[in-house]
Amino acid sequence: MASRDFSTIAIRAGYNSADHFHSVTPPIYQTASFDLEDIDRTRRLWTGAEAGGIYSRVGTPTGAILEARIAELEGGKAAVALSSGMAAISYTLLTLTNQGTNIVAGSSLYGASELALSDFYPKFGVTTKFVKDRSNAQEYEDLIDENTRAIYVESISNPNIELIDIDAIAAVAHKHGIPVVVDNTVATPYLFKPFEHGADITVYSATKEINGHGNVIAGLVVEKGDFEYDKEKYPQFYKKEWKMRDLEDNSRSAYEFIPGAPVIATLKIFFAEFFGGALGSFESYLVLQGLSTLPIRLDRKLETIKKVIEYLENNEHVEWVRHPLAKGSPYRALADKNFPKGPGALLSFGFGGTREQLGKFIKALNNISYHVNIGDVRTLITNSAENTHSELTPEQHELVGLPKNLLRISIGLEAAEDLISDLDQAFEKAFA
């Protein structure tokens, strides 16, 4: 088949209506389990020789369509759909690690990710070394030791809107036989494809831009499929498991179960089975619906964000604006190189007033909603230090580079003029 445009893949990949009663739209398989038909088919299903529904705790046909679609969009070998972005992140990093090993990570991350790495994963014997100079690939290399099992970064950081040179970091990681995991939530594969820049695994909160309508919690993991995991560092992918046996009852490893994608094999066979967390059928349907319009939505948002940035840069009550397209951004060259369509629809700015004035400002907004999601059709605003990153200590706020007066805006599909007018009247009321 000839190569297809992103928009076509986002609508059609992974789906053949003839396999689903000729339904034009992927059906919602709202059932706990599936009829197995006979003992021979049961054997084929349990060994992976035949694809099909077994029990919805470990996956559904609707979820399988989503997995195939996101894998093709990313240019990956295989994918798994999970119940949240944090499930995608935690399952992936815990699959790559074991007791006594560590992760090297960027230090400007989504609050829950930052806290999981610093405080929660150590409960499982996995520690994290945070890079202070996040744009310096050498600093990542300096932190790698014999127990490092992954490098974890965000392609566009939340909420500081920083860009990371994935190519340079991947070169460093691969020199030491370490895979690079990239949270590509803000960018999506429409704006940035990490695999084309050396990444090995991508994770998503599909709750955000991929779904884009604020009506589902979902996560995705995609594995590129060409990273060679060292047997001594990653023995878990080479261990023969009865649960992965073939039709002749030969135990197989994760590498043998899905050649090239041992992480996805492990997530599907063990994590979804024992931890739960596979994405439900209805949730998969909602993500598929949102994904089909992703290019149109992001193109509109990218035009709007330019106008909002310009407005904020010329507002006397704004101390600074963080976005690669903002004046003086240190990420402009990297944005021009790696994000030809645009570096995302998320920005942050410094509110130049008191906390009391901030309260008045947020309360006065009419066309911009105050809550913690991003990537919605609605434009959203939040003061990250007091909600999305409130669980972090003052010391962690300093490490992240998160000032108390930072306001994060996720651009939606409203008219740019309405958003600017709304911001203008809210500033006027706050500083009256």
Q: Could you tell me whether strands 127-131 and 102-106 are parallel, antiparallel, or unpaired per DSSP bridges? A: parallel
Q: Tens digit of pLDDT for each residue in 393-423?
A: 888 888 888 889 999 999 999 999 999 999 9
Q: Give the integer Cα–Cα distance in Å for 288 and 124.
A: 34
> Counting beta carbons within 10 angstroms of the beta carbon of residue 51, is it exposed (0 to 12), middle (13 to 18) or buried (19 or more)?
exposed
Tokens 């992954």 locate to 150
Measured CA to CA, the distance from residue 299 to residue 413 in angstroms comes to 10
DSSP for 220-266? EEEE-S-----TTT-GGGTS-BGGG--TT---B-HHHHSTT-HHHHH
pLDDT at site 1: 53
pLDDT of residue 101: 98
pLDDT of residue 2: 66
- At 391 the pLDDT is 83
Look at residue 95 in the predicted model and tell me its pLDDT. Answer: 98
Domains of the chain: 6-290 (3.40.640.10), 295-430 (3.90.1150.10)
pLDDT on residue 46: 93
pLDDT less than 50: residues of the chain: none
pLDDT at residue number 420:
98
pLDDT number for residue 398: 85
Predicted pLDDT at 3? 81
* Cα–Cα separations (whole angstroms), residue 47 to 35, 112, 203, 256, 309: 17, 36, 27, 12, 54
Per-residue pLDDT, 69: 97
Q: What is the DSSP letter of 320?
A: E
